[in-house]
Amino acid sequence: MDNFMDNRWILRGIALLVTLLLFMSVNLVPQSSSSGLGDIPFVNNKELIRDVHVTPVYDQQNLIVDGIPKKVSVQLDGPNSIVKTAEMKRDFEVYIDLTSYALGTYEVPLKIRNLSDKIKATIKPRTVTVTIKEKIEKEIPVKAVYKNEKEIKYGYKAEEAIIKPNLIKIVGSEDEVRQVSYASVDIDVADANQTFSQVLPVKLYDKRGNRILLNTNPSKVEVTVPIVSESATFPIELIETGSLQDGLKLKSLVSKVDHVTVYASQDWLNNFSGPIEVPVDLSTFDKSGTYEINVPTPDGAFKVDPSTVEVVVDFSQEKEMKFSNIPITFSGENDNYSYKITKPATGKVTVTARGFAEDLDLINPSEISVTAKVSGLEPGTQHVTLSISAPKGVIYKLDYDTVTVEITDKKTSQTDQGSEIVGQSSN
């Protein structure tokens, strides 16, 4: 032992170590705080961190897992400075990886990542028991349940609630979803004397009326409650709007229902005489048929019943009819000239009429006249534009827009013929 203490290199090493420890305790630890060995950076320290979120890793789109804790505690054990940094930043993550597990119940360890390898982490609890199930989605309607219905203002009543959306999705395991019998919202109508709207949570129940706690999408719905006191019946009037599509002609527009019931306050009903105007946009139809048309709720009223009516729309559609062998006549003729149509050789044309059946059926071929105006034209071959006169209401088209007319001077023709006769006599 004496030899050990006499060794000056050992003594120098001990002195240097003590000096380093004193230096670090003075310069690395705030002077205002009391210090201990636990505050020295190279001394191990333990810290318990609570409320650390657990990240689940699995196919959340198709699976449901029960038993995963939302938060756990983590004890960190390691060099003081590194533990303090991890505690302050909390950039590590506790997770549970279920990607390799099938459906069933398992005891699975919790894991940690993004933590310095110089720190030992102990997760509390170390393992959890989880049950992996297949996720099922089912769409069901939502019904309204009125509370305190007898306490509505005197003379008023609640009509059927309007729920938007009226269908919701429930999400759970097959067993959980199978237990759900219906979905509902509770609506308090005490002291109500006018229509009101609320956003209310959806509740799920089994067939015995026991509450079932499952997620729904959406979790809340908008509910409108019509509170009415009186109703009256009024006639409806169809109002034509929009422009007809090309080639259509409206023959008739008839509603299968001619009266609707309007719910409103008594004052409103006393001041309204009707009718209820129902706009019908003709531009949306391309053929005859029966269509469902919305009945608008008049300003100040609560609702109309029915809210839609069936309207029978009858159209005429354009078609074509041909009239053949219509003779061409001349107008503006010169008595000194003779006229002959060389094209078409028959001197007749075909007239095509396009219109609606009721108009086409009224046309008599004798009422159609086609004229070639030859006034002011000189002898020779002329191309003459044709004109047509016929009953109105339809569109006419000719198979010839122009005709070829040979115009001859009668005097010249007679002189030529006389010369030919004289010449024949001389011979």
Q: How far is CA 213 from CA 108, 203, 302, in A?
A: 25, 8, 35
Residue 18 has what DSSP assignment? H
Residue 425 reports pLDDT greater than 70:
no
Gap between the Cα atoms of 11 and 5, Å rounded:
7
Instruction: Write down the pLDDT at residue 132.
Output: 94
Q: Specify the pTM.
A: 0.39
Superfamily assignment of 230-317 in CATH? YbbR-like domain (2.170.120.40)
Residues 229-261 have pLDDT tens digits of: 778 899 999 998 988 887 777 888 899 999 999
User: Is the peptide bond between 344 and the residue preceding it cis, with omega within 30 degrees of 0?
Assistant: yes
Cβ(205)–Cβ(181) below 8 Å? yes
Instruction: Write down the pLDDT at residue 38.
Output: 47
Residues 8-66 have pLDDT tens digits of: 666 667 767 766 665 555 444 443 333 444 455 557 789 999 999 999 999 998 999 99
Question: Which range is least confidently modeled, 17-26, 61-70, 283-292, 340-349?
Answer: 17-26
Of 298, 280, 233, 294, residue with least CA distance to 259: 233
Q: Any residues with CB less than 8 A from the CB of 422 and at least 6 apart, and which?
A: none
Cβ(80)–Cβ(41) below 8 Å? yes
165-182: average pLDDT: 91
- Cβ count near 161 (within 10 Å): 20
Instruction: Specify the fold of 39-134.
Output: RNA Polymerase Alpha Subunit; Chain A, domain 2 (2.170.120)
269-292 core/surface letters (b: 16 or more CB in 10 A; e: else):
beebeeebebebebeebeeeeeee
122-129: average pLDDT: 96
Cβ(187)–Cβ(200) below 8 Å? yes
Q: Where are the beta strands (DSSP E) in 80-229?
A: 93-97, 104-109, 111-113, 120-124, 127-134, 136-147, 157-158, 162-164, 167-172, 182-188, 196-201, 203-205, 211-212, 215-217, 220-225, 227-228
Residues 213-228 have pLDDT tens digits of: 988 999 999 999 998 7
Instruction: Specify the fold of 319-413.
Output: RNA Polymerase Alpha Subunit; Chain A, domain 2 (2.170.120)
Gap between the Cα atoms of 189 and 223, Å rounded:
12
Tokens of 323: 């009239």
- pLDDT over 90, % of the chain: 55
Instruction: Write down the pLDDT at residue 125.
Output: 96
Q: 161 falls in which pLDDT band (50, 70, 90)?
A: very high
User: Is the peptide bond between 79 and the residue preceding it cis, with omega within 30 degrees of 0?
Assistant: no
Give me the count of residues in the chain.
Answer: 427
Residue 426 reports pLDDT greater than 70:
no
Residue 62: exposed, middle, or buried by beta-carbon count in 10 A (0-12, 13-18, 19+)?
exposed
User: Is the peptide bond between 275 and the residue preceding it cis, with omega within 30 degrees of 0?
Assistant: yes
State the architecture of 137-228 in CATH terms: Beta Complex (2.170)
